Amino acid sequence: MNYSLTMNKLTEAKNDDTREKQCFCDICGTSFNYNSQLTSHRHIHTGEKPYHCDICGKSFAYNSQLTSHRRIHTGEKPYHCDICGKSFSQRRTLTEHKRTHTGEKPYHCDICGKSFSQRGTLTEHKRTHTGERPYHCDICGKSFSKRNDLTRHKLTHTGEKPYHCDICSQSFCQMSHLTKHKRTHTGEKPYHCDICGKSFTHRSAVTVHKRTHTGEKPYQCDICDKSFSRSAHLTGHRRTHTGEKPYHCEICGKSFSCNTQLIYHKRTHTGENPYHCDICGKSFSLRSCLTQHMRTHTGEKPYHCDICGMSFSDNNYLTRHRRIHTGEKPYHCDICGKSFSQSRDFTKHKRTHTGERPYHCDICGKSFSQRSHLTIHIRTHTGEKPYHCDICGKSFSQRSHLTIHIRTHTGEKPYHCDICGMSFSDNNYLTRHRRIHTGEKPYHCDICGKSFSQSRDFTKHKRTHTGERPYHCDICGKSFSQRSHLTIHIRTHTGEKPYHCDICGKSFSQRSHLTIHIRTHTGEKPYHCDICGKSFSDINYSTRHRRIHTGEKP
């Protein structure tokens, strides 16, 4: 009897597999083998969700969805990968996971031919071709191509961060962000690049990284045709066209075109530096800054210029460097029309029009238009000189000063004047020199109208109007309008005479005094009276002599 029942059931199951589907949905026409399947399917059209979670109250259209959901509460993961042992709460998640081992991508885009391991990923990908955005925010009306993007977006309205790190208590609005964050504690990097072997904490980072090898930039701006390797970069770029800045700082009111910029900006208020170097202990507000910093220890330079072969530790440096070859200047000032190859130079330039000085010294209150200028200025208070010459041991407060100083040892003068051929060790010296040929004086005093070819001369000149004397002698308290005057003055206390005559050995506290003294040996008299023709070795002597002719009294 039991044998007969078993055979009947097997025969019935076989008939189920071969018989025509008899149950049809009268709304969309989809067919099903069983009436129960049709009943469940109709919930899609009616919106009915008859299955309720007795723990959190959430409702579902299918009983299978409720079963999967309950595992979030119980932590049950009954499906195990027989390759790596990882466990999953849903069978389809295990199936998708196995494809990371096999490399299988059974779902293909019939427009561009790209393949995917998950059907849902293919569906989302197709929307990059169609532009479809079926998910709408009922608060601000913004549309999204992915349901997850809408869910995440809504949290920007509510401010909810339901996922908490049990190690440091930091909260996140997305579970994936928490998962990635935990790897900063564990050091886990489970995703590997099969080209160079580099490891990453999350899958998307590997996908983006591989594009540095392939050069792929699948996201294109429909306004200017510029291409990007990341979707987020395209979104941010589009806002340069629209001017949209939807993210606002509630502390200072400043607005930003992308949320990450706002997060980074807030750390300028809080002083938070959550990323730490485990080699030297230095802390950073941005993960990217830590990554770049680590390369100062490792010497790694993974980004290479395909034109000249030069290597860089940061992809942004490579992008900027390439513009030297292409001459591209994508950043344009709509006030004066000037163009720039780098965004940061453009930002600094705009402040010359607005007068904005957002960086303030906590010690003396002085303000600066650039953060780097504030950093350098603070060293005038602290006396810090972190850059050291390996040849003579001299120290400098700025890296650029060390670079220029080293050229005094090597004799290198890489900057050449295209008019007279003169060479210089510093690009700034070349810029100033060119003004001798052009007569350009770009710095104008709005008090007396006088113009200057050099910024430093203009700065010194302004102090003749303001009376400012920012340089103080720590020994006698005397103040000076120029740093060089203070340096010379301090030598009256110390007796230092660093400039020596190679002919007679006499020493001087000022270079100009040595120059004048050498003329007593050479007989050189470069200053001439245009009235009587008499010559002098010192310009001061020439000035005094002229007064004999003019009758001027000093």
- Number of neighbouring beta carbons within 10 Å of residue 313: 19
* Separation in Å, CA 405 to CA 161, 394, 411, 492: 52, 9, 10, 26
pLDDT for the residue 50: 87
d(CA 25, CA 31): 6
pLDDT for the residue 21: 55
Residue 439 lies in a domain: no
Lowest mean pLDDT among 12-16, 119-123, 440-444: 12-16
pLDDT at 10 over 70: no
Segment 70-97 shows an average pLDDT of 89
Segment 529-549 shows an average pLDDT of 89
Segment 279-308 shows an average pLDDT of 88
Give residue 12's pLDDT band: very low, low, confident or very high (50, 70, 90). very low
User: Of all helices (H) and strands (E), which one includes residue 312?
Assistant: strand 311-312
Q: How many structural domains compose the chain?
A: 1
DSSP designation for 509: S
DSSP for 2-66, written as a single string: HHHHHHHHHHHHHHHHHSPP-EE-TTT--EESSHHHHHHHHHHHH----EE-TTT--EESSHHHH
Residue 230 lies in a domain: no
201 CB-contact burial (10 Å; exposed 0-12 / middle 13-18 / buried 19+): buried
pLDDT for the residue 20: 55
pLDDT at 15 over 80: no
Range of the domain at 201: 173-216
pLDDT for the residue 53: 92
Segment 179-188 shows an average pLDDT of 86
Q: What is the pLDDT of the chain when averaged over all its residues?
A: 87
pLDDT for the residue 6: 40
Residue 552 lies in a domain: no
User: In percent, how much of the chain has pLDDT > 90?
Assistant: 26
Residue 359 lies in a domain: no
* Separation in Å, CA 153 to CA 135, 162, 257, 543, 549: 11, 14, 15, 75, 83
Residue 455 lies in a domain: no
pLDDT for the residue 8: 45
pLDDT at 474 over 90: yes
Residue 198 lies in a domain: yes
Classify 248 in phi/psi space as left (phi over 0), alpha (psi -120 to 50) or beta: beta
d(CA 15, CA 8): 10
Higher-pLDDT residue of 36 and 444 is 444
Give residue 33's pLDDT band: very low, low, confident or very high (50, 70, 90). confident
Higher-pLDDT residue of 250 and 43 is 250
Report the candidate in 398, 393, 367, 394 with the shortest Cα–Cα distance to residue 380.
Answer: 398
Phi then psi dihedrals of residue 513, to 5 deg: -65, -40
Segment 203-231 shows an average pLDDT of 88
pLDDT at 14 over 60: no
pLDDT for the residue 267: 87
Segment 23-43 shows an average pLDDT of 84
pLDDT at 3 over 60: no
pLDDT for the residue 518: 93
pLDDT for the residue 529: 92
Segment 535-549 shows an average pLDDT of 88
Give residue 477's pLDDT band: very low, low, confident or very high (50, 70, 90). very high
d(CA 379, CA 367): 15
CATH number of the domain to which 189 belongs: 3.30.160.60
Structure tokens at 292: 């770049």
Q: Over the stretch 40-54, which tens digit does the pLDDT of each residue have?
A: 788 888 888 888 999
Residue 354 lies in a domain: no
Residue 186 lies in a domain: yes
Q: Over the stretch 481-538, which tens digit does the pLDDT of each residue have?
A: 988 899 999 999 999 999 999 999 999 999 889 999 999 999 999 989 999 999 988 8
pLDDT for the residue 37: 82
pLDDT at 147 over 70: yes
pLDDT for the residue 4: 46
pLDDT at 11 over 50: no
